[in-house]
Amino acid sequence: MKKLDDIPKKHPFTVPDDYFDKLPGNIQARVQAGTGERKPLFAYAVRYAIASATIAIVAAVWFWMRPSTENNSAEDIIASLDTSELVAYLNEGDITTDELLDDVYLDGEDVKEIEGAVFNLNLNDSDLNDFIDDID
C-alpha cells in the first residue's frame, strides 16, 4: 500500500503572477462601478401592478364566461339529459327503485299523468311479447 508521501506532487493549474495581490482591488472596482445604476422603486411596482391586473382580468373573464348552472333547477337539468343516458346511469348505479322513490312526492296531477301514460300506450301483442321477453 502506498503512503501519501510516496505520491508525487503535481501542480496542474497555474496562476498568473501577482493574481492574488491584485484580486481585492479588482473586486472593489467592480463593486463601486455597479452601485451607480439603480432602478427606481416604481419600476418594480409597475411591473407587479401590470402582472396583477392581467391575472385579475383573466380571472374575471373566466368567471363570467363559464357556463352557469346555478339558475337551473334539478328538473331542468334532468330534462336536458337524453333518456337512454339516464336509464343507463340508473341501471349501472347501486340505487334501487325503492331508494329512488323514497324522496319523490307525487301529487294527484302527477299520478293522473302517469296513469294516462301507462294506460294509453296502445300496445299490440308483439310489443307486449317483446316487453315480456325483456323482463325475462
Domain boundaries, given as residue ranges, for the chain: 80-135
Residue 35: its pLDDT value, please?
59
**Hunting for cell 301514460 — which residue is that?**
117
* Exposure string over 81-101, b if 16+ CB within 10 A, otherwise e: eeeeeeeeeeeeeeeeeeeee
For 8-21, the pLDDT digits (tens) are: 888 888 888 899 99
Higher pLDDT, 109 or 36: 109
Q: What is the rounded end-to-end Cα distance, in angstroms, of the chain?
A: 90
Residue 87: its pLDDT value, please?
82
pTM of the model: 0.28
Residue 66: its pLDDT value, please?
79
For 61-83, the pLDDT digits (tens) are: 988 887 665 667 777 888 888 88
For 81-123, the pLDDT digits (tens) are: 888 888 888 788 888 778 877 877 888 888 888 888 777 777 7
Residue 34: its pLDDT value, please?
66
Is residue 53 predicted with pLDDT exceeding 90? yes
Residue 71: its pLDDT value, please?
66
Whole-number average pLDDT of the chain: 82
Residue 112: its pLDDT value, please?
84
